[in-house]
Structure 1
Amino acid sequence: MMIKLAAMEILSLMINFLLGSAIVVGWNFETKKDIWIFILISLGLGVGIFYFYILLHSLGKWGNLIQLFELGFGKWISKLLGFIYCLYFLYIAGRVIKDFSFFIGQVLFNDVPFWIITFTFLLVVLYSCFVGIEDTARSSLILSAFTIVIILFLMIFGYLSPYFELNNLTPVFRTDWKQILASVFPTGLTFPYGELIVFTMIFPYVNNVKALRKYGWISVCLTGFLLIAAAEMILGLLNSETVNLYVFPFVKALELTSISEFLPHLEILAVVINLIGGFIKVSIFMFGGLNILAHLFPNVKRNKHILASTVLTLLFTFFFSKNIIQHLNIGLKIVPAYLHIPLQLILPFILVVVLLIKKYIVKSI
């Protein structure tokens, strides 16, 4: 059956995907009161990354990433790169599941074993993989609206909280530009915007390429502005000197926010946001890995692809970090430099150059 996705469905997937775990666990307050500058620069680069991937598809006649590599580098190299990207997508899926499990374990269920949370979450993702990306995309339309409403609701009451102080947001422009740029590259550039590389396995299914080109930037910008607003709320409630003491500063800030005695624990809504974003993000990474496996092993049944992807994701979830400190250190220091930069930017850039040469130079000879 031919998969077709409306541009609006892909844009909603992008919103949930980009917010994903970033709104809850993805904060980097090294630039303190100038974090809005860091996020704004990352946002501008994120829009550029999105259109860079659109350019890649335009040059490759809207094939998926592995088909583009085959067009650029040939059959055997594309298979090797396909295997690498399959492991990469499933590894990031495992990392997001671990983000979610650590978060739920610390915020809601301190006594629940890590593996129970992981398996429960993965079961939901498995169901998404079985029903397919079309049903997940339709669900994402409703979920993205729900997520945005919840975030706006939380921020309104965060800014109105008696604990919110405008003085915590000023003065600005005190951070050294080297520090800001060091935060942007590679971390701010690659997370969450560079992770859109997985959408190179989804963009070919769009039924309206022009709409995707014309409106795709809106999803990226909306995510960025929500992150800026949330970051300013967090600083206003926690201040720049103490915010880095918390693993989940968004949740800690919400603990200082309540609506009288009616809703005294608004931080619970952060769990809902993380559930929605984590579900969409892991589902998309799993779908990317499944698509590559289907391309590499076309004669193997889809159920076996799903089983193999699940096993690999579980292995990545359980064996690459023992605690949240090690997990965050790997995610902020090692993964961006040694995985994200080569696979999100360097290899796609080389591919674009090769496709341009083949299209405009080789044909003219």
Structure 2
Amino acid sequence: MVRLGQGEIFSLMICFLLGSAIVVGWNFETKQDVWMTILLSLALGVGIFYFYLLLHSLGNWGNLIQLLELGFGRWISKGLGFIYGLYFLYIAGRVLKDFSIFVGEVLFDNIPFVVISFTLLLVVSYSCYVGIEAMARSTVILCAFTCVIILIIMCFGFLSPYFEFRNLTPVFRASWKQVLSSVFPTGLTVPYGELIVFTMLFPYINNKKALLKYGWISVCITGMLLLLAGEMILGLLNSETVNMYIFPFMKALELTSVLEFLPHLETFAVILNLIGGFVKISVFMYGGLMIMSNIFPKTKPNRRILIAATLTFLVTFILSKNIIQHLYIGLKIIPIIFHIPLQFIIPCILVICLFIKKYIIKSI
């Protein structure tokens, strides 16, 4: 029986939510008011987290497949479960594409993306093979390492001679329409809405009361780190030029050095992307594997891992040809077609069905 400690699940959530967002997931449409976008997304993200916990409490802490079966019946749950399984593997492929593009652009411009993706996918497949418990234990160390690296980067970034506080002002210039359009759907669905995959993991936590009481702290830690990073990027690059870069975090770090000490802090960005990308891809792929094991219980585990890895690898290269197309699909199309229905609409309907079955029908 899989069991996860509260420290392990909290570390998984922090690394997962940071994922590739700390390096590639920036939206500076509101310019100096990006802090409003981040804070509003964070507040709604905490609400999303507790919404998914409500789903579990109504369904006696079953996993997503069990919740779907309890709410919609056996056959509908299998169809929706299959869709969620493909969805998790698709998002794993998209994150793998983010990672491959970043590493290819920054480190290995002469190495084909296929080699970079295949290498990371081998590591992810092995982590899924050894299981979520081993992955979660290693994430505790990776999470502490990630937070330390980010705090070091923040210190050097804010102390950099290129950092100018005037780049952070004026504030309150963006309209509420601009702020809300930045938050919804992109800022809300990524990364907070992606916690839907944790509906496959939350049932295995040892102390569910601790998750209910302190789980929001993991979400807030992620949001505050993203807030500090966003302000640092703006202070170094200014609001007029920040949108010119695909990887503004990396460009900001190129300007970060103090007295020529540690002049190449952009190396840390690569480490952050390696850690975040590994954890996020692993969690999504493991979520997809768990759904496959529920729908196809007779399939051997090794075969399921091979199928999941193959689908993830194909998604990485088939559905977008270049970085521009990849970002357009990820920011404009995917949130509307996949994120909103699978992260919010279906769970909302499921909550209503579970509530009716648990409280109304039983009372009749």
Q: What is the TM-score normalised by the length of structure 1? A: 0.99
Larger CA deviation: 88-97 vs 307-316: 307-316
Q: Deviation at 1:337?
A: 1.0
| Partner in structure 1 of residue 189 of structure 2 | 190
Are 2:287 and 1:284 aligned? Answer: no
For residues 25 and 303 of structure 1, the distance between their equivalents in structure 2, rounded to whole angstroms, comes to: 32
* Residue equivalent to 2:241: 242
The CA RMSD measured in Å over matched residues stands at: 0.7
Q: In the TM superposition, what are the counterparts of 1:133-148 in structure 2 within 5 Å? A: 133-148=132-147
Q: Could you list the per-position Cα deviations for residues 159-203 of structure 1 after superposition, in whole angstroms to 9, with x for gaps in the alignment? A: 000000000000100001101001111111100000000000000
Is 2:357 aligned against 1:358? yes
Q: How far is 1:259 from its partner?
A: 3.9
Matches within 5 A, 1:142-291: 142-291=141-290
List aligned pairs for 1:1-365, cutoff 5 A. 2-365=1-364
CA contact (8 A) 2:149 2:268 kept: yes
For residues 28 and 263 of structure 2, the distance between their equivalents in structure 1, rounded to whole angstroms, comes to: 27
Q: How far apart are the structure 1 equivalents of 2:326 and 2:154? A: 28
| Aligned mates of 2:300, 2:204 — CA distance in 1 | 21
Match of 1:187, SS?
A: helix
Deviation at 1:262, TM superposition (A): 4.1
Structure 2 residue runs of 5 or longer lacking an equivalent are none
Contact kept? 2:168, 2:234, Cα under 8 Å: yes
Supply the AA of the counterpart residue of 1:299.
K
Superposition deviation, residue 83 in structure 1: 0.4
Cα distance per residue 1:199-252 (max 9 Å; x no partner)? 000001101100111110000000000000000000000000000000000000
Task: Give CA-to-partner distance per residue, 1:118-144, whole Å, 9 cap, x none.
Answer: 001101101101110000000000000
Q: Give distance in 1, aligned partners of 2:112 and 2:259.
A: 34
Aligned length: 364
Of all paired residues, the percent bearing the same amino acid is 72
Pairwise CA distance, 1:364: 1.4
Letter in 2 for 1:316: V
**Is the 8 Å Cα contact of residues 161 and 258 (structure 2) preserved in structure 1?**
no
Distance 1:197 1:295, change over 3 A: same
Name the SS of the counterpart of 2:363 in structure 1: coil
1:308-362 per-residue CA deviation (whole Å, 9 max, x = no partner) reads 1011101111100000010001110001111100000000000000000111111
Amino acid at match of 2:299: V
Query: TM-score scaled by structure 2?
Result: 0.99
Structure 1 runs (4+) greater than 3 angstroms displaced: 259-262
Question: Where in structure 1 are there 5+ consecutive unaligned residues?
Answer: none
Q: Secondary structure at the match of 1:198?
A: helix
Aligned mates of 1:49, 1:204 — CA distance in 2? 17
State the distance in 2 between where 1:193 and 1:162 align: 34
How far apart are 1:264 and its partner, in Å?
A: 1.8
